[in-house]
Amino acid sequence: MSASLGIAWRWSQLFLALVVLVIEWILREVITLFFRIIPVPWRTEWEDPKHAEDPNCERGTLEYVEAKGYRTEEHFVTTPDGYILGLHRIPAPSSHTISKDGADDEGKAGVGASQQPLPLRPVLIIHGFMHSSEAVTIRQRESDSLPLVLREAGYDVWLGNNRGNKYSHKHIHKRPTDDEFWDFSMDDMARYDLPTMIECVLSRTGAPSLTLIGFSQGTAQAFAYLSSHMTTKVNLFIALAPVIVPRGFANSVVDAVARARPDFIFLLFGKRQLLPFTLFWRNNLPRSKFVQLIDLSVKFLFGWDTACLAENEKTLLYSHIYSHASVKTLVQWFQIIQTGKFQMFDDYKSSNVSSGSGSDRYPGYVLPQYQLGQIRTPVACFCGGRDTLPHTDDIIDAIPKDKRALVHMEPKYEHLDFMWARDVSTRIYPKVKTLLSKYNSGKEEDSCEL
């Protein structure tokens, strides 16, 4: 294909993306007007949890955990740049005694077993892009919820929420209706959010260090932080579905958008929160139709078929799939896709300033990159054989060999499966608990690869 044809094709894809967004907006306005005139019966199940098939669809993180019989705490911490973050805690038992089989004194096992007191062992879990703590917590079965599984094993579990999402939707000066509130990227989450949450957990528990668990963007955020800090505050980092440089998208239209200029992305999505209309469709479509919409979306974007997810659980899972994030964070991910480098946000390319005709051939500046080779914390990676999003081998190769606590490949898993697969409690969680036991006992063993 000639250069001119290639440019024409690219612009046609971008124009199509713009048309799709305009059509979606028109459709949303029409439906809103229709609902104001004619009440629709299926909306009752979203608006009133009493009419829902599963009340957990409408429960938040703390409501869900308390409904399962556990005590909870909510903490608010302020970052150095003024964002107020919500932290959810599922405390370890007050006496915190652990039986030999790993169950705590308020757990469901270990009755009559000899017990020994242990200090608090905090674990901090960080969610993915456009998620909140709900996505990593709420499952139909208690045994499938990683935070509850770890709480049953005697750990003091903390659930982080990055700036902008439903639990961290506050700033000391800025309002969510201001463009300035949403002027943040993943760099800010790594520079401010994660260290602030870590300090809060260690201050509240009195522990010298914690174990960090991240999913998807939560892993990138942690990699960025750990590669920039020589910290002893994290004794182990567990990366579920790790990603630092995405491959791109399965659909050519979306992939063309991902490789477009940042100012075009801001034109498409605005400069505030990303895809807020997702909540409109979540609240107004019948539950079964919303499930179909999400299935269609992940297939369209990434080629995932969600075969490892239980069909009868998708309504619950997808009810908590979205929370607010900034468009700027998406732009940073698109910049990383374009350059193929795990780098900081490029403010220069996101401005309207032109760097000149020769800039593409010989750029006049070099952006800082996050160097995984500088990580001094043990890292365990859980990767999916059918996960089309990350360059898995590049991630593993970048981590220092002596810091690879575990490399586990789950052949049939896609990206979302490390949170939501029907068998994640038997395939992944036992290995996670084994790692936690090793690195919280002070007797770390040699790294291994599976």
Torsion sign, CA atoms 250, 254, 259, 262: negative
Q: Are the beta carbons of 125 and 159 closer than 8 angstroms?
A: yes
Q: Catalytic residue, from 168, 216, 323, 350: name it.
A: 216
Question: Is 415 one of the catalytic residues?
Answer: yes
Question: Is 216 one of the catalytic residues?
Answer: yes
Task: Specify burial of residue 446 (Cβ count, 10 A radius: 0-12, 13-18, 19+).
Answer: exposed
Q: Count the Cβ atoms, other than its own, within 10 Å of residue 47.
A: 11
Q: Are the beta carbons of 249 and 395 closer than 8 angstroms?
A: no
User: How many angstroms separate the CA atoms of 384 and 414, rounded?
Assistant: 5
CA angle 203, 205, 209 (to 5 degrees): 80
Q: Catalytic residue, from 96, 131, 171, 415: name it.
A: 415
Element (H, E) at 211: strand 210-215
Q: Count the Cβ atoms, other than its own, within 10 Å of residue 432.
A: 23
Q: Catalytic residue, from 105, 144, 387, 417: name it.
A: 387
Torsion sign, CA atoms 12, 14, 19, 20: positive
Residue for token pair 């705590």: 104
| Catalytic residue ranges | 216, 387, 415
